[in-house]
Amino acid sequence: MNYKPHYFFSDFFLGKIVASTIVMVCFCYPISAISALFIGASPSLFNIAYRALIALGATYVSVICIYKNGLRIQKSMVFVYSFLLFYFIRLVYDTAIAGVTTAQTYFEIYSFFVGNICIVVLMIGQALHLVDKQKLIRQSFYILIISNLMILLRALYQLDWQVGPEIFLFRTFISLEKNAVGNDIAALINSITIGLQGGLLLTLSLSYLLLIGSKKARPHNLFLYSAIILGVLNLLLGSSRGPMLFTFLSIVILLCFYVVFQKRTKKFYIKNLIAAIVLFLTISFVVNWLNANQIELSIVDRLLETKSNLEKGQTEERNEIYNEAFSMFLEKPIFGNQINTYSVAYPHNFFIEMLMSTGILGLLIYLGALVFLLLKIVNYKFYGKYFAILFVIFLIFYGLSQTSGNIYQSVEAWCMFALILSYQKPNKWIN
């Protein structure tokens, strides 16, 4: 097809690049990793190419938009840009001057933070208004279908195609070798990511069913129900507490949106009462069946273990990292200490890590961004149902950043954070 020369500079084309880049950042890593395994290529090289493509797309859009319209800085994004700049200075000082030892190579840290966080955040701030939010959500849904199917197929291959409740007795991860259980520290796709992908698909499918009334604007119901089952399967396969917890919380928030956006007629109450009864009976049947067959899911074991540890006052290794990071903050409370703990680890919590690496000053800048986030949440009705759907997806990523992520590698959390803060009212920008 022959395009006019200016097509690649048009708002339409730029909007497509923005949407595709957001989807790649947030949902496509498992597709990249498993595709490499399927064709026998190096997952590392695939990942480098995948991350480079994201950086190139975000750079292209940012440069064209700034050239056409000048640098546009929304009030809601000022604190995000300021924090990222402040943290970049910390990175440069620690790596170029102080020579801080890190678990990752300096190239990996900079490629993630600059190429897949800073430039992507800049792109979203400059061009999110060019994106059709309905198409963005639909594209995300289909990509999550593909991602979850690939994860499930690879997991079953590693389990010699066993199909039964026994596959949920262990934490599953995707590895280079045909070995699906055990220690997943060196996993290609760890159990957290598997659970996360399942939780995202489950939440997005429920969002379509609950918030998008027009059947023309959403996939067929049978397709949505199948996606819900697929999402639940991978959520259980991962057996990770973080994805399970934050998926549950996001669904609770989604139900609140559902109640607010729907007309509460007599039909509304009858329909939802029936749905609640069916759901309760289904869960009761599954639980009774598992108990009758003496099957205890891995996630149940982990939750019971956590409960037991709390009752006995026992702490996990992560608690020790929290304590070390906070002690480092107290040593240099104003500007922070360094990007990693002395034991070369990250605290698995954005706020503790901010205190450790950027001090009180960095945390105050970040809290400024959270104030604007709170204003968005309070005024959610002005932004519409697509904002509500994207917000519950954001909650899952953001929740995990408090239990599993770090500042310079949690690309999904930063991408969705920028998306929510840059989201404009439909009557002001193209929606």
Q: What is the pLDDT of residues 68-87, one digit of tens each?
A: 999 989 999 999 999 999 99
DSSP letters of 16-51? HHHHHHHHHHHH-HHHHHHHHHHHT--HHHHHHHHH
**Which residues, 6 or more positions from 379, have their beta carbon under 8 angstroms from its beta carbon?**
none
Question: How much is the mean pLDDT over the chain?
Answer: 86
**Positive or negative CA dihedral for 284, 288, 289, 291?**
positive
Determine the average pLDDT of the residues in 95-122.
Answer: 91
pLDDT above 80: residue 242: yes
Tell me the whole-structure pTM to 2 decimals: 0.89
Q: Where are the domains of the chain?
A: 5-422
Please check the confidence at residue 231 and state whether its pLDDT lies above 50.
yes
Picking from 66-70, 389-393, 403-407, which range would have the lowest pLDDT averaged per residue?
403-407
- Rounded to 5°, angle at Cα 81 from 75 and 87: 150
Q: What is the mean pLDDT of residues 155-175?
A: 78
Please give the share of the chain, as a percent, with pLDDT higher than 70: 86
Tokens for 291, please give them.
């108990």
CA atoms of 191 and 175, how far apart (whole Å): 11
Mean pLDDT of 37-45: 84
Cα distances from 145 to residues 142, 162, 224, in angstroms, run 5, 21, 10
What is the structure's pLDDT at 185? 46
N residues, the chain: 431
Q: What is the DSSP string of 75-141?
A: HHHHHHHHHHHHHHHHHHIIIIII----SS-HHHHHIIIIIIIIHHHHHHHHHGGGS-HHHHHHHHH
Please give the sequence-ordered ranges of beta strands (E in DSSP) within 316-382, or none if there are none: none
